[in-house]
Structure 1
Amino acid sequence: MPEAHSLHRHARDQREALAGQVLAVSSPQGRFDAAPFDGHRLDDVQAYGKHLLYSFDEAPDVHVHLGLKGIYLRTADLALPPRGGTRMRLAGEREAFSLIAPSRCEALVPQARDALLASLGPDPLRVGEAGREDAARRLAAAGTAVGAALLDQSVWAGIGNAWRAELLFLAGLDPARRVGEEEAGLLWDLAVELLRLGVDAGQVVSDPTAPDERWVYKRDTCRRCGTTVQTRTVAGRTAYVCPRDQR
């Protein structure tokens, strides 16, 4: 499932390409009512954790969650017909973005938008260092194993399985442990630093000196010490753990 760095990259790219323009909005697939948005100006695109929100003038917001299979296709050829499976197509003056196979693509009235945002914890890419105290408090107070709490979007927004594995490794923490505010703050600092790199790189970057490498995620052996990586199920997802480097 795409994690926060991917969603913030989508938001940045679409905001730069389309914001301020009157868009042709359509749904070739027919599963999204595009009429309220077609011919309206796109004011902004923002990412909140794993969610995208599109703000239009004189129209509701559009909420997108990519889920497991959702993707965007970008083209500068506006005459190129979109794929038949396109849920939503946003066409501006020079570029178009086609949304395919999202788990959610829906209009949101202001009350629903506010409820969605209120359900989310702090996003490292939105509040950064300023959100450290709140983020540490939330994670420490989650009352469950840190590996489960990190995937709870009401605790922190945007962290998925890949970032969970790499952040816990760098902090030296076993996912089955509970953490205090000091350890939670360290995890937040790592998330703020590394997710920013992930936005620019378009991938999980857990080692700035080797951006294409991972420490434990989907590896047979730990890249640091060579110990066999253990796998366990934590919060319904496979956790990757180095038993030597993670306490």
Structure 2
Amino acid sequence: MPEGHSIHRLALAHRALLAGRPVEVDSPQGRFAEGAALVTGRVLEDTSAYGKHLFHHYAGDLIVHVHLGLYGKFATGAPPVPAPAGLIRMRLAGDRGWLELRGPTACAVLNPHEVALIHARLGPDPLRDDADPAPAYARIARSGAPLLQLIMDQSVLAGPGLIYATEVLFRAGLLPTTPGRALSAAGFTEIWEDLRALMKDGVAQGRIDTVHVRHTPEAMRRAPRVDRHGGEVYVYRRAGQPCLVCGTAVAKGTMAGRNTYWCPTCQS
């Protein structure tokens, strides 16, 4: 499932491609046909992201909500719109370009009240400047659940997934299994600010880099990381490899059915 920074990147890209003009919307697959009929021909006024949720805001207070889930993906291009190929849930076309959506978990037309309900069930998004982190810490401070699990819980913090959660805990020197109630207010502030910085960099760069400058391949004279997720990281998917800070072999375990990575020396 995409991490939150990639959804914010999509919102920016879709705004640049289509916002401010009328768009034609259809559903070659047919599963979004009724929704497409409601918004086609309207001006796409804006786009926004909240955590892992994407919103297209149309004239008339109609909002298309998209959640990619595990398999959803977008494709975009310049005019003309190509002939449909595969199972396209939603297709948008404007005078500057087109986009196609395949395989999302959710794709529906909502009203502002329904969008507000989605926002209400999510925790604060580190990428939104209007976010208030206080409710997140209140949830964490009274929980005995592991910090890794809490950071990935979208009702606690909206946007971070396994990579950001794993890496921010390494950078904070905390084990993934640390109970939420053991995190101090100052410790939470450090994690929150670190997430904001790392995820904003992810929006700007289009990849997840979490290592400090002194631990980059250039500074350490090592080969760049080769992984389908890209980016330079400390422990995520580096099991058995030496920690970039202390040289200890990175450990791997499982938590709630997800792989977990940490440095036994740097995190305690």
Stretches of structure 1 lacking an aligned partner (at least 5 in a row): none
2:218 aligned with 1:217: no
Aligned residue among 202, 205, 211 for 2:206: 202
Stretches of structure 2 lacking an aligned partner (at least 5 in a row): 217-229
Q: CA deviation at 1:59?
A: 5.2
Task: State the alpha-carbon separation in 1 of the partners of residues 14 and 50 from structure 2.
Answer: 15
Using the size of structure 1 for normalisation, the TM-score is 0.93
Paired residues of 1:64 and 1:102 also in contact (CA < 8 A): yes
Deviations 1:188-239 (A, max 9, x none): 0100111000001112121263483110001132232232222222233211
CA pair 224-208 structure 1, distance change in 2 beyond 3 A: closer
Paired residues of 1:151 and 1:235 also in contact (CA < 8 A): no
Task: State the alpha-carbon separation in 1 of the partners of residues 104 and 261 from structure 2.
Answer: 27
Amino acid at match of 1:112: E
Secondary structure of the residue aligned to 1:124 is: coil
Q: CA deviation at 1:30?
A: 1.1
RMSD: 1.8
Paired residues of 2:81 and 2:93 also in contact (CA < 8 A): no
Paired residues of 1:136 and 1:182 also in contact (CA < 8 A): no
Residue 64 of structure 1 corresponds to 66
Aligned residue among 183, 187, 211 for 2:187: 183
2:142 aligned with 1:141: yes
Residue 220 of structure 2 corresponds to none
Amino acid at match of 1:3: E
Amino acid at match of 1:224: V
Task: State the alpha-carbon separation in 2 of the partners of residues 225 and 122 from structure 1.
Answer: 33
Using the size of structure 2 for normalisation, the TM-score is 0.86
Aligned residue among 107, 116, 119 for 2:118: 116
Residue 232 of structure 1 corresponds to 253
* Percent of matched pairs sharing the same residue: 41
Q: CA deviation at 1:20?
A: 0.8
Residue 154 of structure 1 corresponds to 155
Secondary structure of the residue aligned to 1:35 is: helix
Task: State the alpha-carbon separation in 2 of the partners of residues 66 and 137 from structure 1.
Answer: 29
Task: State the alpha-carbon separation in 1 of the partners of residues 16 and 105 from structure 2.
Answer: 24
Secondary structure of the residue aligned to 1:36 is: helix
5 Å-filtered alignment, 1:40-119, equals 40-58=42-60, 60-119=62-121
**Which structure has the higher relative contact order (CA within 8 Å, separation 6+)?**
1
The 10-residue stretch of structure 1 (111-120 or 206-215) with the greater mean CA deviation from structure 2: 206-215
Residue 223 of structure 2 corresponds to none
**Number of aligned residues:** 246
Paired residues of 2:123 and 2:135 also in contact (CA < 8 A): no
Secondary structure of the residue aligned to 1:67 is: coil
Secondary structure of the residue aligned to 2:152 is: coil
Q: CA deviation at 1:140?
A: 2.5
Amino acid at match of 1:83: A
Paired residues of 1:140 and 1:184 also in contact (CA < 8 A): no
Task: State the alpha-carbon separation in 1 of the partners of residues 257 and 124 from structure 2.
Answer: 22
Task: State the alpha-carbon separation in 2 of the partners of residues 198 and 208 from structure 1.
Answer: 14
Paired residues of 1:78 and 1:94 also in contact (CA < 8 A): no
Deviations 1:94-119 (A, max 9, x none): 11111111111111133321111100
Amino acid at match of 1:165: T
